[in-house]
A and B are shown apart, each in its own frame.
Chain A
Amino acid sequence: MSELTSDSIRKHFNNRQILNDIFLSCKPGEIVGLFGRNGSGKSTLLKIIFGSIKAEGKYVAIDNVKVDSLYEHREMIKYLPQDNFLPNHVSISQIISCFCAKENIEMLKKDPLVKPFLNKKIKQLSGGEKRILEILILIHSKATYFLLDEPFNGVAPLNVEIIKSLIKKHSKNKGFIITDHDYMNVLDISSRFVLIDDGNTRQIGGIDDLIEYGYLPTSSRKND
């Protein structure tokens, strides 16, 4: 069975152990919601799994085959960073041709969300438009696993719904690990929840556990 496995991940900053022997896995068909307070190491963990930053200890494997470099897993894992990452000087049409799987290029260029911007450059889009485009481009690549760091950041509520339905639609044969402080939307689409607490991961059941472990205030229960 296909699976992205990350194990024994250790990372410290300035004598503070951020991640302590972390284990996190994801299978195609799963959406893993990753929670944690500010500074708990969520983004760092995703970057380590992706391979863009180094860790003191790390084991990342896809289908039990260890992957070490960005080049090795370029067709398997894609990462959406917190901030916009598409190059400003390139047109959207060029980016789609460069990034997406061949079979998806024409389909994506005809997508109503993309078509109006096709000949524009990235710098001509708003932050929210860039975010939707980034997610669309990532999802339509060949990759099987997606690490999405704050996908709902700066996105209008209507577009959040579009992003959620896109992720759900593609999660049938792809695996997603999502982290975002917009916890209600993450809870809504995730099939499994993981909390990073004190450098360790905990499988949690839902909002009550998030309150119990101090990620959410107790008043969240009333609002739910």
Chain B
Amino acid sequence: MRIVYSLWLFNIKFVFLSGIISTVLPLIFISYVNLNVGAGIAFLFLTPTFHYLVYELRNPGEYYFYYNLGLSKFYLWLNTTLISIIIGVLLISL
């Protein structure tokens, strides 16, 4: 349960931001792309990008919080990849 909670703390820093931008972007290009397909594709790519920007570039020290809870960088990236694929594909297939 503690692992799930710490993953939640890890994700809220970039997944919601990614979700909002992924929703707004296709609205701008609504005449060129289907809304849910655009949002899905944007989410697929924006989520790992924001993970990289937020944790690798801006706050690399925060990784140690998650390391102390037993989550290695590999598992944190795996978590991001799975979230972006699952939600991205779900949005595309709506």
Contact = CB atoms under 8 A, between A and B. Distances in A.
Interface of A: 50-52, 69-71, 74-75, 78-79, 81, 83-90, 94, 97-99, 138, 141
A52 B9 contact: no
B70 A87 contact: no
Contacts of B6: 98
A222 to B, nearest CB: 38
Given A89-B12, A98-B2, A98-B6, A70 B62 contact: no
B5 A98 contact: yes
Contacts of A74: 68-70
Given A87-B9, A98-B5, A98-B6, A79 B70 contact: no
Nearest to B54: A89
Interface in B8-22: 9-10, 12-13
Main secondary structure of the interface of A (DSSP, over half): loop
Given A88-B59, A98-B6, A50 B65 contact: no
Q: Which of B59, B62, B65 has the largest count of A CB atoms less than 10 A from its CB? A: B65
Q: Which of A79, A84, A85 has the largest count of B CB atoms less than 10 A from its CB? A: A85
Interface string B1-40: 0100110011011000000000000000000000000000
5 contacts: A51-B67, A70-B72, A74-B69, A85-B63, A141-B68
B67 A89 contact: no
A98 B7 CA distance: 11
Given A69-B72, A74-B68, A90 B9 contact: yes
Contact of A70 (B5, B9, B13, B70): B70
B77 interface: no
Contact of B71 (A70, A79, A88, A89): A70
B69 A99 contact: yes
Q: Which of B5, B10, B64 has the largest count of A CB atoms less than 10 A from its CB? A: B64
A-B residue pairs, 9 tightest by C-beta: A74-B70, A85-B64, A71-B70, A83-B61, A81-B64, A70-B72, A85-B61, A87-B62, A52-B67
A131 B4 CA distance: 26
Q: Which of B6, B10, B67, B69 has the largest count of A CB atoms less than 10 A from its CB? A: B67
A99 B5 contact: no
